[in-house]
Structure 1
């Protein structure tokens, strides 16, 4: 997984933009309105997300419509999978231990 993906998501406004775009494509103006931030600021955040490869933009007349690219999120999911397995194993061992404790008088 690219470090740029995590860096891009580390900023709260960019994370909110990704969450919004998870519901479907939006224009810069629509994103600005939803997040109640100025359009130039929204454009800067979208530029970072675009450079990180997380969003694509489609031009329609004078509008720019942004949507998420699935690949960076698939990479992140694969990276996190190794941690999920480790934690699931640890939680299973903890559950077994707690069960043993409850059986003791």
Structure 2
């Protein structure tokens, strides 16, 4: 199984930071201006823009500028890639746990 998948690497890197996760969570409610997104965080706009850059590079968000306002929107398709990966992992471990249960049952003389 391939665990070093560049698109997933950038996705998980982007979601590894609590500020970026909060931005993704906020954008789940709908598009927002950068100033609105930055408001809850105690950091300067240049630092916050770096976080948005990481999210954009990972494909999690998109931004568009209209006049002087830059608005960000969530790209839920990128989150679906992480969901698929987690689901594959869950299925893999479910099989392994069932096999372990069967082995332990056989060792204890219990029928399957």
TM-score by length of 1: 0.76
Aligned to 1:64: 70
Q: Deviations over 1:45-102 (max 9, x none)?
A: 00111111111012111111001112211111111111222455648x97xxxxxxxx
Aligned to 2:44: 38
Is it true that 1:81 corresponds to 2:67 in the alignment?
A: no
Aligned to 2:56: 50
Distance 1:20 1:37, change over 3 A: farther
Q: How many residues align?
A: 94
Aligned to 1:18: 24
Q: Deviations over 1:12-70 (max 9, x none)?
A: 11111111111111111001113343322221100111111111012111111001112
Residue segments in structure 1 that go unaligned for 5+ positions in a row: 95-105
Q: Aligned-residue CA RMSD in angstroms?
A: 2.1
TM-score by length of 2: 0.72
